[in-house]
Amino acid sequence: MTVSGIGMTSQRARARMLERLKEQGIKDPVVLAAMNAVPRHPFLEESIQQRAYDDTPLPIGQGQTISSPYTVARSCELVFRGQTLDRVLEIGGGCGYQAAVLSKLAKEVLSLERIAKLVGRARLTLRELRINNVLIKNVDGTLGYRSAAPFDAIVVAAVMPYIPEELKLQLKPGGRLVAPVGAGESQRLIVVEAEPEGGFKERELEAVKFVPLLSGVS
Do the Cβ atoms of 55 and 18 come closer than 8 Å? no
Could you give the C-alpha distances from 87 to 98, 106, 114, 128, 171, in angstroms and in order? 15, 6, 20, 23, 10
Task: Please confirm, yes or no, whether 67 is among the known catalytic residues.
Answer: yes
Q: Which of 67, 75, 103, 111 is catalytic?
A: 67
Strand 186-194 and strand 171-183: the pairing is antiparallel
Q: Helices 69-80 and 9-23, interaxial angle, to 10°?
A: 60
**What are the φ/ψ torsions at residue 194 (nearest 5 degrees)?**
-80, 110
Active site residues: 67
